[in-house]
Amino acid sequence: MTKKSSTAAVHHNNVQGSSKNPLRLVTAIPKAMVKGSQRITRKGWSIIRKLPIKKPPQLFRWDLLGVTMSYIWGMINRRHLPVALRKPVYSAWAYTFRCNMDEIPAPLESYPSLADFFSRPIKDGARPIAQGGMVSPVDGRVLACGEVVGDKVEQVKGVTYSINQFLGCDASTLLQRQNTKLYQCILYLSPGDYHRIHSSEDWSISKRSHFPGTLFPVNKPFLKLIPSLFALNERIVLMGDWLQGFYSMTAVGAYNVGSISLSFDDQVNSNRITRDFRCKNLEYFSWNGVGSHSYDRSYDNPIPQTKGQEVGQFHLGSTVVLIFEATDFEFNVKQGDYCKMGTLIGSSK
């Protein structure tokens, strides 16, 4: 082999190898030009390898698109529509997402914005509250339900999330009584559903934690693709007690649907464009781990809630997660079932 062909072969192999390791590209350039830069690059690469980053930065994978677009969509939805446009716009929305128009208590023209129409109340008596057990807090479809074993909980079949990261506390510290277990139920709301959140049991709220996070879509493809999606997304966690011990209710935001408010606490400020830079809750920034930072508020006097009472609402929102302590709780719903707010989802034996 000639000297010229040998040099060409080395160059070809180096470029091919660079597809596996981008740093090998520098070996395809004359050494005299890159001797100094190689040392710098290798030193930088060794530093990067030591950083506590287990996955590619969330900021670059999704947040620039997801958070920004969700914020813009929220602003658009809060804009007041001309009265003449309200009925045709809302009627088109209702037709597209199969809203039950018979439950709407006021004329369509009375809702100033799409966000107001989205979070509309329903007629009195449209959701009777069942007795004899726990009821669904929302209109939604069951994504998962059952007993919680350890820290990992199923968010969809075969894919889990961490209670520690999701609630921001150790799962082993939640049980308050003997012979009890933790249970969970995840309910997903579609755009056409009634989007107010109600208490599923008589309980008292002692703490609120707001995790800004990101805003991945909450649908089956993303739930299967992204482990711990619920622990990454923006959410408001309410924690307290009920008759059988620990009780929590969490409202989770999603792509284009991150606006959440509470009926008893006006300090919550969700779906903000700047939140991820003030609150380092993504894997790229969270040196202490996902779920290690939240905006917390403890209530000096726990706030009592009765079954069926309105707790808050999604102005644009997606999912509610119940995690609670109970003795031999038995669900009468299963994955895939659709529940109306106030219908029975289970009870203790």
pLDDT greater than 90 at residue 269: no
Tens of pLDDT, residue by residue over 24-72, are 433 443 444 434 434 444 555 455 445 443 443 444 444 556 666 666 7
> Residues 309-336: what's their mean pLDDT?
92
Q: Of 5-14, 162-171, 225-234, which range is least confident?
A: 5-14
Tens of pLDDT, residue by residue over 137-190, are 999 999 999 999 888 888 776 678 889 889 988 888 999 998 999 999 999 998
pLDDT greater than 50 at residue 255: yes
The predicted structure's pLDDT at residue 288: 53
Average pLDDT, the chain: 78
pLDDT band with cut points at 50, 70 and 90 for residue 277: very low
pLDDT band with cut points at 50, 70 and 90 for residue 258: low
Domain boundaries, the chain: 49-78+127-348
Cβ atoms of 282 and 294 within 8 Å: the answer is no
> Residues 4-19: what's their mean pLDDT?
43
pLDDT greater than 50 at residue 12: no
The predicted structure's pLDDT at residue 43: 52
pLDDT greater than 60 at residue 81: yes
pLDDT greater than 80 at residue 264: yes
The predicted structure's pLDDT at residue 274: 55
Residues known to be catalytic? 139, 198, 318
d(CA 235, CA 138): 16
The predicted structure's pLDDT at residue 294: 79
Percent of the chain topping pLDDT 90 = 42
3-state secondary structure the chain: CCHHHHHHHHHHHHHHHCCCCHHHHHHHCCHHHHHHHHHHHHHHHHHHHHCCCCCCCHHHHHHHHHHHHHHHHHHHHHCCCCHHHHHHHHHHHHHHHCCCHHHCCCCHHHCCCHHHHHCCCCCCCCCCCCCCCEECCCCEEEEEEEEECCCEEEEECCEEEEHHHHHCCCHHHCCCCCCCEEEEEEEECCCCCCCEEECCCCEEEEEEEEECCECCCCCHHHHHHCCCHHHHECEEEEEEEECCEEEEEEEECECCECEEEECCCCCCCCCCCCHHHHCCCCCCCCCCCCCCCCEEEEEEEEEEECCCCEEEEEEECCEEEEEEEECCEEECCCCCCEECCCCEEEEEC
> Residues 296-313: what's their mean pLDDT?
95
The predicted structure's pLDDT at residue 285: 47
Higher pLDDT, 206 or 292: 206
pLDDT greater than 50 at residue 242: yes
Tens of pLDDT, residue by residue over 108-148, are 999 998 888 888 899 999 999 999 999 999 999 999 999 99
